Amino acid sequence: QLQLVESGGGLVQPGGSLRLSCAASGFTLEHYAIGWFRQAPGKEREGVSCISSSGGSLNYADSVKGRFTISRDNAKNTVYLQMNSLKPEDTAVYYCATRYMHCSYYRTEYNYWGQGTQVTVSS
């Protein structure tokens, strides 16, 4: 079976950090760009970050630029999202998704999706 599984979410204080993981099983991520998206209650799902298949291109939403860092480890078939200086408005379910080779700004361009992991930023 082809699976993407997000992990690493949880409850964190404002200003804290979390590292999310997106692990693939049943296929390799070698030829895929990986995007991170998030959806808060009552809001549209929005793009957060993306890394190209080679790791050579990194993209970030303006709202997270300078705070979040995306990376990949193809040996572990895993993509990471390091989230620092977290704010309450970062609270959402975070999803990872694949697109062949290149990143896209639009979520409809992505094909495989994980089940999501909850991130809650609250005091």
Give per-residue pLDDT as tens, 56-115: 999 999 999 999 999 999 999 999 999 999 999 999 999 999 999 999 989 999 999 999
Residue 86: CA atoms inside 13 Å, Cβ hemisphere, count?
Answer: 23
98 neighbors 112 (Cβ within 8 angstroms): yes
Distance CA 66, CA 62 (A): 9
3-state class (DSSP) for residue 116: coil
Question: How much is the average pLDDT of 9-20?
Answer: 98
Residue 48: per-residue pLDDT: 98
